[in-house]
Amino acid sequence: MIALTDKAATKVSELITAEGEDNLALRVAVRPGGCSGFSYDMFFDSEVADDDTTVEHDGVKVVVDASSAMMLEGATLDYADGLNQAGFSINNPNAQRTCGCGSSFS
């Protein structure tokens, strides 16, 4: 299952607060596509299916569907806000290859 750094959990919590809905969870998924074969998808979701895996980090609920869970095992979601890099990134030890743009993997 994917883990969140403290910075990522803080930013996700801020974004959920801005949405104005306390029941939202961060859904992280792996979808077919991108130049290397798979890409990450992240969005807020209020629905949790029976076969979803759910974890909580500092009050932030993270939901992953069953097919994405095995591809995200051991991965970490981080957040950076600097001059050289800004936004969320996923460090995934299961990715054997990433593309030049950094948004897809295989």
- The CATH code of the domain that includes 48 is 2.60.300.12
How many Å apart are CA 75 and CA 30, to the nearest integer?
Answer: 12
- Per-residue pLDDT at 95: 77
Among all chains, which residue has been given the structure tokens 């992240």?
Answer: 42
Sign of the alpha-carbon dihedral angle for 54, 55, 57, 58: positive
Range of the domain at 21: 3-95
HSE-CB of 24 using CA atoms within 13 angstroms: 17
- CA dist., res. 16 & res. 21, Å (int): 7
At 50, the amino acid letter reads D
pLDDT at 53: 95
Give the residues of the chain that fall short of pLDDT 70: 34-36, 96-106
Q: What is the pLDDT of residue 103?
A: 53
Identify whether 100 is part of a domain. Answer: no
Q: Is 54 inside a domain boundary?
A: yes
The helix/strand/coil state of 45 is strand
pTM for the full model?
Answer: 0.83
* Number of domains, the chain: 1
Task: Read off φ and ψ for residue 66, nearest 5 degrees.
Answer: -60, -40
**pLDDT tens column, 50-74:** 999 999 999 999 999 999 999 999 9
